[in-house]
Structure 1
Amino acid sequence: MDEVEVVVAHSERATLRVGDVFLKVDADQARVDTEVEAMSLAPVPTPEVLWRRPPVLAIAALPGTTLGRLGGPSTGAPAAWAAAGAAVRKLHDAPPPPWPGRAGRSAAALAAELDDECGLLVANGVLPAGLVARNRRVAEAALRPWTPAFTHGDLQIAHVFVDGGEVTGIIDWSEAGRGDALYDLATFTLGHQEHLADVVAGYGTDVDLDVIHAWWSLRSLLAVRWLVEHGFDPFAPGCEVDVLRSRM
């Protein structure tokens, strides 16, 4: 009998694997609705939805492997990273869905959220003031107008599966919607900046690298405290705090 593997679990949602089936448990049905609809609209390979019985969504496992994970070694040849970049470009070129996604927050809203979070990080002694201030300045470049694109919203490398030089599927679409395309590219290369050139080559168009660097800082600043409070370790080698230190 297949064992039950806990892929990820925290107070908002949990994902279990049983054989070739992934079971996503999420009490927020609007988030699940977004995931299912986004997968149906995305012009890239996505998992097959096997069934849905709230609060559980069952999807089939994808062939291939991921290119690594944040805080771990990256895998795959440059061609695999370029193929991922090409798939992301195909997504971004598609008509954006009618709803805003995680990458679609306004510059004003992000600036306010970022300032509040930076204050808490320093006031609670989570991070040194100098580290926070330097990354807050770097993050400023992301707070600019952008053309809405079809964004994944949480495009971690663990969410993209490849086989050789081909993308076999992209998972976890609950944060998808209209948003800033460079947020996806930054999320995908977070902690693996050595592969940014390969991804951009596959993406096939000029991108503003300063904005990607800014998103690395912004995303990491907003994530650190949440990760600590939900049982994750952003201080692990190669993770969010190391990303922030690399900006120094």
Structure 2
Amino acid sequence: MARGSDLNEQGQPSVRRKGTLVSKVTDELRDQILSGAFPPGARLPSEAQLTQSYNVSRTVVREAIAVLRADLLVDARQGSGVYVRPPSPASVDKRLDRESVTSVLELLEIRTPLEIEAAGLAALRRSPAQEERIFDCQARILACIEAGRPIRDSDFALHLAISEATNNPGFAEFLKSQGVSAIPQAEIVTESDQARQMVYFHQLNAEHEKIVLAISNGDEEAAREAMRAHLKGSQERHRQLLRGGLLRQDGKASRS
């Protein structure tokens, strides 16, 4: 939300802060679209509602929507509103540039040692209720895969449930501070090949399943190793986007 010191005398965002506010609103709306909170065909909140929700000017909201339109994520229909577009290879290409993939790698590197430790502690300390929640989160991921829905929110919920099962609030606080952006986009597969994408999703599910079963069995070392394999695998998958033909020299994802 905009702070009072960031507003000019008319109560509008200052020029100094305007660009930052546009980025903030754009990023939050983009995350909601990509996570499925606003599915294809859904109407975004009105300009007035977004202005109130984010405590920004109408100009900031309009510029954020313009960015989303340029990214092929939404369409504006005159007299009706702004609607989420079905995903397209072009919109995926716009998201998977070198800078964004690098930031994913940086966050994964930070998460890896913390979540390896969290998995081991969860295996030792989880309560029956926490164990049940972990299983429920894993089941929701599989349900999303089978229904063809985005898995990012469910993926984040599983990792958060594991961190909470350590009964050390610091682990969960770190993940909450990052939000769902801590989870790499599931749309790492840029091809429109649905079979390949399903293989990718089921690979993630199998990795999660090993973590969950090790925690349920109280096997500290197996839980650590399963989490290590999962996060190291995520790092390697994203490194493949930075080398070897999936990125063109201009940094855009290639489907060749």
Q: TM-score, normalised by structure 2?
A: 0.27
Higher gyration radius (CA): 2
> Of the two structures, which has the highest relative contact order with CA contacts closer than 8 Å and spacing of 6 or more?
1
Question: Structure 1 or 2: larger helix share?
Answer: 2
Q: TM-score, normalised by structure 1?
A: 0.27
